[in-house]
Structure 1
């Protein structure tokens, strides 16, 4: 900002102009002289100056009558007016129009230099503040981080644009509202309120990670770095929280942990299945022989039936865990999805026997074949149908809707059961999570892995009449190894 050392003097009397120039040159300032406002305007259009020093009486009028033109052309460069005592009242009125200061004749060089230096120092400070403000605004608007300010009562004072882009909350939604009640889940509130209370009483600042509730109800995992922030006058204090969205990292970490768990399960189950298969076969062989020996003894036959069912359940459980832990390599072939889900429905005939159950196919556009692993897709539909049948003891209505195009097949399996609780929705695809007394908790995770092996997706939520599971797979997709 070298132009700040350059001063424009507007003075029509040559001796007075040279006198002012000499005073300021001694202190290292660069001087340019203009004899009128008109000459000064031409100079101001071509270059910038740090200060404009002008006489009040000029050939083209009083300075206060031309002041707005000068300020506009010069981008509001500070103006100092040189005046006598008789004009002092008029100069004071000119302050209202925008002059920065005045110097009274006869001029004392030290006073003039001090006034110019003071105004230039203020201008440098203003420039620095302007740059810092612009930088802060740019950081707030472009950084992919949340900037949040709340008071120690939890009221929202300010947040940046990225917070709105991430969560959907606008300024009108949250400013003045309680942060903990609007955006924090109940199970996290006590911890965060305690952090806020600790910061209000001590100088210890704590970072933390927690979920925040978006406007659409979704949750985002945020890693916070907190500090105290005070107003410029040292008055009220606030909490300045910088947050980074780590939802994807958290999900990736969970996937890695799940993969390690599955690998461990796979090794354990492989050894367990090998050792258990022979034992189960011995139980089955012995129970068949025993069945011959106890034929006609009703009590013994019932007890033996319990043993046989237990052996069958154990075999099924081991096979389910083994199948889940093993990598899925889809063997793709062209097939009609309607035929696949109809076979899955037929496989559950014994489960439907004696019940009021209806499968409704609302299919209008899925008339073409799709490339899938037939066996795996039968397993997927069988699991979904079985969940719907077991969700209710009363009549069951299951609908299959289809929305397809040239690239994707999107199916919705909708039942009229009780729907999903918030806990079930959060953990539905987690291995071994179940609300059934005899379930393994692997049905939906297996469905997810089958969908992913086809390069597709699966999601579940509540429908107006029960639960809705949406499956989307490409019509033609190379097999994907899911381990």
Structure 2
């Protein structure tokens, strides 16, 4: 703050300059004197001052004619104009141009010192405020946390750049919008709304977690700390919410829980399948004998067929659960994914007989090379294609679009069927959840486990019509282990 204690005096009369210097020195200020605006500009080019004290009439003109030069050269250092002429219009013009005070001679030393201190104290407070404001801006800009301000009606007043980076929502798209309606998933609105009301009533809430809706339809899990913001009179006006993205932690916890659950299911199903296999075989053998005995009796034959179908369904269910719970071992190969999905489509030829079904490839410059277990990925594509065939009335159009990044091959597999709503897309990969009248609800969860076992990701996206599944798989790179062999499928 030493610079702020240094005052530049511009006075062409030597006696007046000396008098001003003495007065200010007694007040504890350091003083540099100059005789013209030209000399003052030279001094300002060499150092900074906390205050400029200047006569109005100087050898190189009236100060109001040169004031902007001084303000620019001094980075808007406060200016006090001292004059022996009481010119009201000149004072008004000077204030309009940005001076801080206007002092009429003769000068009262105590008043001049008090004026200088008042202006410098205000400047110190302004600098402190600017530093604090700049620090707050840097904190908002660099902190990897959501900073969100809402009014008591839930409308968005302010948010930081991290929220945009996290969700894709811009200021224009969110400011003034209702946060619950725009960014909270429908199934969470009531719970989040109750927490909001609690925060308004009690003043704070912490440790609450919910998903927020990103612009691209994805969800992020956020842990919130909420409190009221007060104005200068102590009245609460807004809710400040600080959010930490815990999506990765939540996903990791879910994977651990899922792995433990799968291990338990695997052990149970293995034992159940062992004990049930013989029983199912006895049911099938007995039903075959029974079918021969009731041959010609239509009603009895129908009941026997129902028994055989139930036994077959039970065997299929046990095998599906076993496949879902069993550890996935992959034998990786470098392969063109087009060969994989084309062979999977050919495998379903019997399902496409007498149907108007077509696989459409939207080709790109992507090389389509990925490091995968061929048999496992064929299983994924067969499941996706079979779902499209079963859900879509003719004509069936399955479209695959591929895009490559430096380390991934991303596929978009879509059909022209009835599509998925938001709830169905959210639960599609949950075990035993199905949109079909019949089915185990394990097909898509098994696909997800296969893709994740490759280090990839799979996402169900909602759109105006049809179902769209996005798959991203590791691409063959220079770092691909040499032990992985290259194959061409036929």
TM-score, with normalisation over the residues of structure 2? 0.81
Aligned to 2:450: 450
Aligned to 1:466: 466
CA distance in 1, matches of 2:199, 2:472: 48
Deviation at 1:413, TM superposition (A): 5.4
Aligned to 2:343: 340
In structure 1, stretches of 5+ residues that fail to align are none
Q: Structure 1 residues 369, 218: CA separation in 2 closer, same or farther (over 3 Å shift)?
A: closer
2:217 matches 1:214: no
String of CA shifts for 1:392-418, please: whole Å, max 9, x gaps: 6x6563546465889987766554432
Q: Structure 1 residues 19, 358: CA separation in 2 closer, same or farther (over 3 Å shift)?
A: same
Q: Structure 1 residues 328, 119: CA separation in 2 closer, same or farther (over 3 Å shift)?
A: same
String of CA shifts for 1:231-286, please: whole Å, max 9, x gaps: 44656712222233333333333333222221221122222223333443454555
Any conservation in 2 of the 1:414–1:468 contact (CA below 8 Å)? yes
CA distance in 2, matches of 1:179, 1:405: 35
Deviation at 1:121, TM superposition (A): 0.5
Deviation at 1:288, TM superposition (A): 5.8
String of CA shifts for 1:57-91, please: whole Å, max 9, x gaps: 33333333332222221111112233347567744
Give matches, 1:63-462, under 5 Å.
63-84=63-84, 86=86, 90-91=90-91, 93-206=93-206, 208-232=208-232, 237-284=237-284, 303-332=303-332, 336-337=339-340, 340-341=343-344, 344-346=347-349, 349=350, 356-362=354-360, 373-391=373-391, 395=394, 397=396, 399=398, 401=400, 403=402, 414-454=414-454, 456-461=456-461
Aligned to 2:38: 38
String of CA shifts for 1:292-332, please: whole Å, max 9, x gaps: 77777776665555444433332222221111111222235
CA distance in 1, matches of 2:356, 2:184: 42
String of CA shifts for 1:328-366, please: whole Å, max 9, x gaps: 2223567943673255315xx4x678xx42442446979
CA distance in 1, matches of 2:403, 2:246: 34
When the two chains are superposed, the root-mean-square deviation of aligned CA atoms in Å is 3.8
Paired residue secondary structure (2:82): strand
Which is further off, 86-95 or 9-18? 86-95
CA distance in 2, matches of 1:80, 1:411: 70
CA distance in 2, matches of 1:413, 1:12: 84
Paired residue secondary structure (1:329): coil
Which is further off, 257-266 or 416-425? 416-425
CA distance in 2, matches of 1:378, 1:226: 48
CA distance in 2, matches of 1:8, 1:373: 79
CA distance in 2, matches of 1:118, 1:140: 33
CA distance in 2, matches of 1:323, 1:297: 39
CA distance in 2, matches of 1:28, 1:369: 78
Any conservation in 1 of the 2:228–2:236 contact (CA below 8 Å)? no
Q: Structure 1 residues 201, 115: CA separation in 2 closer, same or farther (over 3 Å shift)?
A: same
Deviation at 1:46, TM superposition (A): 0.6
Which is further off, 364-373 or 279-288? 364-373
Q: Structure 1 residues 154, 72: CA separation in 2 closer, same or farther (over 3 Å shift)?
A: same
In structure 2, stretches of 5+ residues that fail to align are 485-490
Which is further off, 284-293 or 302-311? 284-293
Count of paired positions: 474
Which is further off, 31-40 or 224-233? 224-233
Q: Structure 1 residues 460, 155: CA separation in 2 closer, same or farther (over 3 Å shift)?
A: closer
